[in-house]
Amino acid sequence: MPSPRVRLSENELHRHRQVAEAFGSDPERYDRTRPRYPEALVNRITGNGTKLDIVDVGCGTGIVSRQFQAAGHTVLGVEVDPRMAAFARQRGTDVEVAAFEDWDPAGRTFDAVVSGQTWHWLNPVAGAGKAARALRPGGRVSVFWNAELPSPEVLRAFGEVYRRVLPDSLVARQWTANAIDGYVMLCDKAADGMRTTGAFGETQEWRFDWSRSYRRDEWLDQLPTHGDHGQYPVAVVEEVQAGIGAAIDAMGGGFEMRYTTIAVSAVRNPE
């Protein structure tokens, strides 16, 4: 997902949507390289361990779905991109192809609605309204994102490459600002949407801090799934990869990336 470290104009929002649609061009790479979510988050959402029926909004390749399935829950994915949906099905997740705002629960109700790294593609009010319609009273909606928190050394080194090769790009600006600020803004919008429906109790914000070590090839494998890399010629992306690879080599061949998983959650009011 493109990291929301900067505010976008209307034209950039249109391009942002094009970036999202590009993810399905290589679902295997996306699934292989994208970071997972803390088990503490899964446990916080699911509570006392009772088996739940869960809807995963914008399930993509099923990364979030499989984490909840591994914890013993039943998951139905809703995904707008048929290529991503097909991959998720191959990995064992039931998926219905639709934009969540247009998806029809068809009278079914669920214990939880979750969304990892995707809620910002939805209208927050329409999305919250559809979640309320799909949830049983007392059910929980939880939306969350992984925010990268690179060290000053990594931020400086990677930023220099992007400013040199793609100076006017969204991804170049992503390496010049604080990631948390953008994700807090997304959580605020999600919380406002939940409150606007009048269907939920008080919203809660959760944060989980963790880190992951990357070797050079691991980061370069993940790199095309970030930002707007897919919107540029292959030769340009290869130049970026060469520059980033050289920067990682200069760090000793690897680095530690800190993450904060930030979530907003609310419980469906009793009827």
pLDDT tens, residue by residue, 64-108: 999 999 999 999 999 999 999 999 999 999 999 999 999 999 999
Pairing of strands 53-57, 110-116: parallel
Going by the DSSP 8-state scheme, the letter that residue 185 receives in this structure is H
pLDDT tens-digit map of 173-190: 888 777 788 899 999 999
Residue 128 CA to residue 105 CA, distance in Å, equals 14
Do residues 42 and 68 make contact, with C-beta atoms less than 8 angstroms apart? Answer: yes
* Contact residues for 250 (Cβ-Cβ < 8 A; gap 6+): 157
CB-based burial label for 250 (10 Å; 0-12, 13-18, 19+): exposed
| Residue with the larger pLDDT of the pair 14 and 66 | 66
Is residue 9 over pLDDT 50? no
Which has the closest alpha carbon to 236: 168, 176, 174, 180? 168
The answer to whether the beta carbons of residues 37 and 145 sit under 8 Å apart is: no
For position 10, what pLDDT does the model report? 42
For residue 139, the surrounding DSSP H or E stretch is strand 135-149
Q: Which of 73, 27, 44 is nearest to 224 (CA)?
A: 27
CA angle 20, 240, 176 (to 5 degrees): 70
Q: Are 83 and 30 in contact (CB under 8 A)?
A: no
